Amino acid sequence: MSISLGGVPAAAELPDVLPPRSERGRAMRFVLRYPTIVAGGSLLAIMVFIAIFAPWLGTRNPESISPIHRLLNPGAGHWFGTDMLGRDVYSRVLYGSRVSLGVGFSVAILASAIGMTIGVVSGFVRWLDMVLMRIMDGLMAIPGILLAIALMALTRGSVYNVVIAITIPQVPTVARLVRGVVLSLREQPFVEAAVASGTRLPKIMYKHIVPNTMAPLTVQATYICASAMVIEAILSFIGAGTPPTIPSWGNIMAEGRALWQIKPYIVFFPAVFLSITVLAVNLLGDGLRDALDPRLAKRL
């Protein structure tokens, strides 16, 4: 009952084929291999740094009005100039990053968490799947910005309400993505093997299913973060978002809009910051997508 193999040894040793490399070599290889992650990550890190340390970066109170100094051009005293109320645009833009990043990250986390729950439940519970997915279809049928405007119209303007209004239209995309991944994971032999090993359903979900949805979910979350920041700016710009007392990039642009032809810098600086941040997040997302699973490139 044995097949002779002419001296082929059993698998006993697992030799380390690759010699150990230096830390610096590893960092360098990472940069070369995933340039988009490094570029996007560092840009985003700079933005996060700015948002956290805004009070110590040579700013003054972004809300203090000084009519004598209104509409000053960018210069030594006011690096980005001042607006029609004499407020320092540099300070306002730096403080505005707190709103944008805060909204972006909160929406990404909230939408991922809610969408994930809905996706896992509808991937596992057949009869709920129909109900939940029809609700998601309904939400998807309404353009995200319109839905957010409608939701804002129903509530008072506050940053929390902005986060909720932007999150709701983002949930269906996450739910659909997670549901699809769950449905394909369910058929994987390792899940069947877990069933055969007597694993109960809740444990199969959190141990075998959920961890394997993390890679596509992370990628999706970065895209949601980017679009949430854009939507927040749009809502603020049209006056349906963050209350005007809080400086946000959308608010600053909205206030500078009337003076666009004579004082373009009021709109220009927040726009540049918004573009760079969104670009950073999208670069990071693209890089993560390629790094986590090259096959995802086709699915998303």
Partner 1 sequence: MSAHLIEVNALVKHFPLKGGLFGGRRGAVHAVDGVTFHIDRGETLSLVGESGCGKSTVGRAVLRLLDPTDGEVWLDGERIDNLPAGKLRPLRRRMQVVFQDPFSSLNPRLSVGQIVAEPIVNFGLASGSELWDRVAGLMDKVQLPRDAMKRLPHEFSGGQRQRIGIARALAPGADIIVCDEAVSALDVSVKAQIVNLLADLQDELGLALMFISHDLAIVEHLTHRVAVMYLGKIVEIADRRTLFASPHHPYTRALLSAVPVPDPSVKRQRMILKGDVPSPINPPSGCRFHTRCPFAFDRCRSEEPELRPRAAGQSSACHLDVVPAAA
**Nearest to residue 152, comparing CAs of 242, 280, 240, 27?**
240
Give the shortest CB-278-to-partner 1 separation in angstroms. Answer: 31
Q: Is 276 exposed, middle or buried (0-12, 13-18, 19+ CB in 10 A)?
A: middle
Closer CB to partner 1, 212 or 218, in the complex: 212
- Closest separation between CB of residue 288 and partner 1, Å? 17
Q: Closest distance between partner 1 and the C-beta of residue 169, in Å?
A: 30
> Is the CB of 199 or the CB of 282 nearer to partner 1?
199
Name the residue among 233, 225, 275 with its Cα closest to residue 255: 233
CA distance 153 to 94: 28
* C-beta of 61 vs 188, nearer to partner 1: 188
Question: CA dist 230 to 8, 114, 244, 278, 286, Å?
Answer: 62, 21, 17, 8, 18
Report the residue number, 65 or 130, with the smaller CB distance to partner 1: 130
In angstroms, give the least distance from the CB of 14 to partner 1.
6
Q: What are the structure tokens assigned to 34, written together?
A: 């995933």
Residues that bind partner 1 (CB under 8 A): 1-3, 5, 8, 10-14, 188-190, 192-200, 203, 207-208, 211-212
User: Buried b vs exposed e over 24-39: b needs ≥16 C-beta within 10 Å?
Assistant: eeeeeeeeeebebbbb
Residue 141 Cβ vs partner 1, minimum distance, rounded to whole Å: 20
Nearer to partner 1 among residue 8 and residue 68 (C-beta): 8
